[in-house]
Amino acid sequence: MKIELIPVIEITNYDNDILLPPNGPYWEYPDDWENYRIQTNVEAGFSKDLKSYSKGASFYRINEISDEDLLKLIQNKVIFEDDDETLGIEDLNSPFNGGFILKIDGIDIYFPQCCSDLGDIKEWDDLLIEDECNFYMGHPSPKVIITENTVTFDFLNSEIQENYAPPILQDQITVDKKELSDAIQEVKKELKTFAERLIRLNQSENLNIPNIENILVYGA
Q: Kindly state the average pLDDT of the residues 143-161.
A: 92
Largest CA distance in the chain: 57
Residue 22, Cβ density class (10 Å: 0-12 exposed, 13-18 middle, ≥19 buried): exposed
| Dist. CA 33–CA 22, nearest whole Å | 10
* Coil vs helix vs strand at 191: helix
Q: Kindly state the average pLDDT of the residues 151-172.
A: 93
pLDDT of residue 83: 46
pLDDT of residue 134: 86
Sign, CA torsion 128/60/208/90: negative
pTM: 0.93
Q: Which residues of 169-194 are buried (b: 16+ CB within 10 A; e: fewer)?
A: eeeebebeeebbbebbeebeeebeeb
How many Cα atoms occupy the beta-carbon half-sphere of 29 within 13 Å?
Answer: 12
Q: What is the mean pLDDT of the chain?
A: 92
Q: Kindly state the average pLDDT of the residues 11-19.
A: 94
Residue 119 has pLDDT above 80, yes or no: yes
Residue 82 has pLDDT above 50, yes or no: no
Q: Kindly state the average pLDDT of the residues 6-15.
A: 96
- Tens-digit pLDDT profile for residues 188-213: 999 999 999 999 999 999 999 999 99
How does residue 90 score in pLDDT terms, banded at 50, 70 and 90? low
| CB neighbour list of residue 195: distance below 8 Å, 6 or more residues apart | 213, 214, 217, 218
| Dist. CA 86–CA 76, nearest whole Å | 14
| Dist. CA 213–CA 220, nearest whole Å | 9
Residue 104 has pLDDT above 50, yes or no: yes
- Tens-digit pLDDT profile for residues 46-58: 999 999 999 999 9
